[in-house]
Amino acid sequence: MADGIKDKVAIVGMGCTTFGERWDKGPEDLMVESFKEALQDSGVDPKDIGAAWLGTCFEEIGVGKSAIPLSATLKLPFTPVSRVENFCASGTEAFRGAVYAVASGACKIALAMGVEKLKDIGYGGLPDFGAAMGTRARLISANMTAPGGFAMMATRYFAKYGLTPEQGKTAMAKISVKSHKNGAKNPKAHLRREVTVEQVLNAPVIAWPLGLFDCCGVSDGSACALVTTPEIAKSLRKDPVLVKALQIAGTSGEELATQSWDGAHVETTVQASRRAYAEAGIKNPREEISMMEVHDCFSITELATYEDLGISERGKAPNDINDGFYELTGKIPCQPDGGLKCFGHPIGASGLRMIYEMYKQLQGKAGERQIKNPRYGLTHNLGGFPASSVCSVAIVGL
Amino acid sequence: MVGITSFGAFVPRYRLSRMTVFMNMGWFNPVTMGVAQGEKAVANFDEDSITMAVSASLDCLKGRDRSQIDALYLASTSLPYRERQNAGIVATALDLKPGIRTADLTDCTKAGTSAMLAGLDNVKANGGNVLVASADCRLGRMGSLQEQVYGDAGAAVLLGSENVIAEFQGAYSLTYDFVDHYRSEDMQFDRSWEDRWVREQGYGQIIGEAVMGFLKKTKLPLDGFNKVIFNCPFTREHQAIAKKGKIAPDRLQANLFEQIGDAGAAQPLVMLAAALETSKPGDKLLLVGYGNGADALAFEVTPEIEKVRDRKGVKGHLAKRADLTAYTKYCVFRNLLPVDVQIRGEIEPPTSVTALWRNRRAVMAYVGSKCKKCGTPAYPPQAVCPNPKCKSMDEMEAYPFADKKGTIFSYTADMLAASIDPPAIYGIVDFEGGGRASIDFTDCTLEDVKVGLPVELSFRRKFVDHVRGISGYFWKAVPIVK
């Protein structure tokens, strides 16, 4: 195995906007807002940024194509800039570009910026995928939306583990209730109201068996990170956060093209997390991971992710949920900032928003959500559908 | 011996009670009460004459080698395209070889029998096998008599000279510019003349004249026929015409008005299929197709009929039904009422016909690939084998999935997806013999769908690109609900 990225790159500053229906802010405004916070947080001078990556997914309704909107908006002085896109994993993809640039020695300081302006489309949910999946997909793909694509994993999970719809929906509901509880404590979160299991179960169905509260917020927002070498980082601040692992796995196409996949898990999460644990030197994630932000685009995704990350046993995530294992007060708090569920999900920004929460927690700046003495924070950012996905897993620590 | 070698039929699953129509529109046109009996078959929102012709053809071609088909004639008065051969779409969906003769026969309700005559002539002249497919999906204005009378259905016959199930005995045709109804270039709906005149001078006179002409020409006696098959949607007139010819009620093939309605050009073929389903070797059938004149054709059933008893046919399709309880749903399905599709529903990415051409067997005939090295089948067709132990590159052969049995692997019912019939139900289907696909479901409700339930594939309209005036066709899974 290659050396890996462990301890080679440090996060020296981060910024994250309030997520939500930011009717009065365009994507450019949102980028400036998070960038300003990151500059203040790090003390970095923009002219010292050697390269920048922009992660955004639906550029058609946001900033537009290319990385020009990033450099032109922030007035970066002819800095090398690239736009990356990997569906909902675009934010972590931007982070990966910046981290690898520093690790390679190509530049001393790099910027990863994620932004998405979703609330300019005039309807609920994500923008229509009709044209986003390619020309052939228009001719042959099912009439699928994001909730529907993930709902199929829920019907499959229920069938595989013999859960009645009531049992399955209740397990998922508890995940959402937990995230709402955390989100209510977060001033930057999109959805800040606590909900009950009954409310979740009685909400209108979006894509059976997923109801409204099984779905994450669709939000506008931006988050960014400034990364540099550990040495420079230490010269700028006393508490930089180190990248311990940064892995990504794309589908081999087997899930949908053969009958080997069970439909009740996401194989790219399994693959990316195992590589990330190896890279970070983690032997037993259930014991060693202190906290995590996972890609809870839907409650079922979070449920399957507990198992895919090797933290809950196969088919046993509902037990851990019942035991409060993933609560803020539990063994591994999951979604301490409210997650995609309540912090919100501006696609390109989400991966960086997850890292932002881990960063703040590791620095002890998470306010009333603060987790005691965290060591390793894991983020999990999933793009595509369970049947055809790309997954990023990052592990950060002091 | 030349004649029919196979047959099949298709009746869409939805049935609309004529009393439901009357309850909604009778205030406007109370005389429609006169025909408000039984129910009419209604195409689902994703069906049209092309898809129903394909469905009927699939029933007809069960167990047949499609590479032996030399011609396809498609008969309908409601074909979606004026230019772009509709028969070519049907032939592509059926994955027939490109080296065949095809034609659309249209513009009048006798087009179905005319297509059969053209096909029989073709077999006589050239040998081989000719598929005649027919379907109609005609619209009547809200509150009109036609709205009540018209029904949607399809039927197909295979014509040839080997293993004939019903030998062709002769024919007579009659042509009159009898304008009982018409639809010109720019009209969405048929315009009909007073139904009293249509019944008396149209059905009442012309069918009789065609039969007389046929008998004179062939010198066959009318009382020699076990079944006389002709359509007249006015049931009393239908019986009166038979009575005039001294045809006993048990020799008159039912017009299916109360089960299907008048399926236009397909109706004589639908009724013929229903007759063949109950016929015995030696039975003599007289078939008349009416519309701007008439065609009369005679057949004699052979012992080979026993080999095609496994067709779903009219009987099988009539048994598989669901009530379309809301009249407004019918109106929305047929685009008679504007419905708020919301902004998501307005988004129509451009349809690429180059991509369609390149992928025509995959899209239109649901043909996937199979690895020549390890035998792994996959849909859509792959260039690199998806089997992790193989991964051979460019070692694929065509592998048809449309006739494979499938089972539901996972599913959902999606209220967010833009659909004219929400929720959009779809899922992943595993195919017997290997292969898996994410696919839309149709002709079902969420309550019907379960993991592990068998499905069969059906050719449907996938999308309508209103901006460019073109529809996308594709295959959907129909759950087989016991």
pLDDT score for B457 = 98
> In chain A, what residues touch B410 (CB-CB under 8 Å)?
152-153, 155-156, 159, 263
Note the pLDDT tens digit of each residue in B279-308.
999 999 999 999 999 999 999 999 999 999
Q: Do A143 and B451 touch (CB under 8 A)?
A: no
pLDDT score for A130 = 73
Query: Does some domain include residue A301?
Result: no
Closest by Cβ to B409, choosing from A140, A143, A263? A263
For the residues of A57-94, what is the DSSP string, one character each?
S-GGGTT-SSSHHHHHHHT-SS--EEEE-BTBTHHHHH
Instruction: Find residues 363-422 of chain B whose CB sits inside 8 Å of chain A.
Output: 363, 376, 378-380, 382, 386-388, 409-419
User: What Cα–Cα distance (Å) separates residue A54 from each residue in A94, A222, A297, A350?
Assistant: 6, 11, 21, 13
Note the pLDDT tens digit of each residue in B371-410.
999 999 999 999 999 999 999 999 999 999 999 999 999 9
Note the pLDDT tens digit of each residue in B191-232.
999 999 999 999 999 999 999 999 999 999 999 999 999 999
pLDDT, mean over chain A: 97
Q: What would the 3-class secondary structure string for chain B be?
A: CCEEEEEEEECCCEEEEHHHHHHHHCCCCHHHHHHCCCEEEECCCCCCHHHHHHHHHHHHCCCCCHHHEEEEEEECCCCCCCCCCHHHHHHHHCCCCCCCEEEEECCCCCHHHHHHHHHHHHHHHHCCEEEEEEEECCCCCCCCHHHHHECCEEEEEEEECCCCCEEEEEEEEEECCCCCEECCCCCCCCEECCHHHHHHHHHHHHHHHHHHHHHHHHCCCHHHCCEEEECCCCHHHHHHHHHHCCCCHHHECCCCCCCCCECHHHHHHHHHHHHHHHCCCCCEEEEEEECCEEEEEEEEECHHHHHHCCCCHHHHHHHCCEECCCHHHHHHHCCCCCCCCHHHHHCCCCCCHHHHHHCHHHHHCCEEEEECCCCCEECCCCCECCCCCCCCECCEEEEECCCCCEEEEEEEEECCCCCCCCCEEEEEEEECCCCEEEEEECCCCHHHCCCCCEEEEEEEEEEEECCCCEEEEEEEEEECCC
Q: Do B352 and A252 touch (CB under 8 A)?
A: no
Q: For residue A85, what are its two tokens? A: 């896109």
User: Which residue reads 């803020």 in tokens?
Assistant: A328
pLDDT bracket for residue A133 (50, 70, 90): confident
For the domain made up of B3-333, give the CATH fold. Answer: Peroxisomal Thiolase; Chain A, domain 1 (3.40.47)
User: How many domains is chain A built from?
Assistant: 1
> In chain B, what residues touch A209 (CB-CB under 8 Å)?
412
pLDDT bracket for residue A2 (50, 70, 90): confident
Query: Does some domain include residue A306?
Result: no
Note the pLDDT tens digit of each residue in A366-377.
999 999 999 999
B342-366+401-479 belongs to CATH 3.30.70: no
Task: Identify the residue among A143, A153, A163, A251 best suited for mutation to test binding to B, counting B beta carbons within 10 A and taking the highest.
Answer: A143
Task: Identify the residue among B410, B420, B457, B463 best suited for mutation to test binding to A, counting A beta carbons within 10 A and taking the highest.
Answer: B410
pLDDT bracket for residue A365 (50, 70, 90): very high
Minimum Cα–Cα distance from A206: chain B residue: B415
Choice among A180, A295, A345, A380 that is catalytic: A345
Residues whose CB is less than 8 angstroms from the CB of residue A217 and which lie 6 or more positions away in sequence, other chains included: A19, A20, A190, A191, A340, A341, A342, A343, A344, A345
Closest by Cβ to A155, choosing from B379, B411, B437? B411
Chain A nearest CA to B348, separation (Å): 7
Q: Which of B285, B256, B293, B284 is nearest to B271 (CA)?
A: B256
Return d(Cα A273, Cα A261) in angstroms, integer.
18
Task: Determine which of A136-145, B18-27, B247-256 has the lowest per-residue pLDDT on average.
Answer: A136-145
3-state SS class at A392 = strand
Residue ranges, CATH 3.40.47.10, chain B: 3-333
How many Cβ pairs closer than 8 A exist between chain A and B? Answer: 140
Q: Which residues of A touch B (CB under 8 A)?
A: 121-125, 128, 130-131, 135-136, 138-145, 147-148, 151-156, 159, 204-210, 252-254, 256-259, 263, 387
Minimum Cα–Cα distance from A128: chain B residue: B344
Query: Does some domain include residue A100?
Result: yes
Choice among A88, A224, A342, A391 that is catalytic: A88
Does position A131 have pLDDT exceeding 90, yes or no?
no
pLDDT score for A12 = 98
Task: Identify the residue among B414, B419, B447 best suited for mutation to test binding to A, counting A beta carbons within 10 A and taking the highest.
Answer: B414
Does position A1 have pLDDT exceeding 70, yes or no?
no
Structural domain harbouring A45? 10-123+221-225
Minimum Cα–Cα distance from B465: chain A residue: A138
Above pLDDT 70, what percent of chain B? 100
Chain A nearest CA to B382, separation (Å): 9
Query: Does some domain include residue A208?
Result: no
The CATH code of the domain that includes A119 is: 3.40.47.10
pLDDT bracket for residue A256 (50, 70, 90): very high
Minimum Cα–Cα distance from B408: chain A residue: A156
Chain A nearest CA to B303, separation (Å): 43
Q: Do B440 and A142 touch (CB under 8 A)?
A: yes
Return d(Cα B306, Cα B472) in angstroms, integer.
38
Residue ranges, CATH 2.40.50, chain B: 342-366+401-479
Note the pLDDT tens digit of each residue in A54-96.
999 998 889 999 999 999 999 999 999 999 999 999 999 999 9
> In chain B, what residues touch A387 (CB-CB under 8 Å)?
428, 438
Chain B nearest CA to A124, separation (Å): 8
Q: Do A130 and B414 touch (CB under 8 A)?
A: no
The answer to whether B465 faces chain A, any CB pair under 8 Å, is no
pLDDT score for B482 = 79
> In chain A, what residues touch B453 (CB-CB under 8 Å)?
none
Task: Identify the residue among A60, A61, A118, A128 best suited for mutation to test binding to B, counting B beta carbons within 10 A and taking the highest.
Answer: A128
Note the pLDDT tens digit of each residue in B153-187.
999 999 999 999 999 999 999 999 999 999 998 89
A88 a catalytic residue: yes
pLDDT, mean over chain B: 97
User: Which residue reads 């008065």 in tokens?
Assistant: B77
pLDDT bracket for residue A134 (50, 70, 90): confident
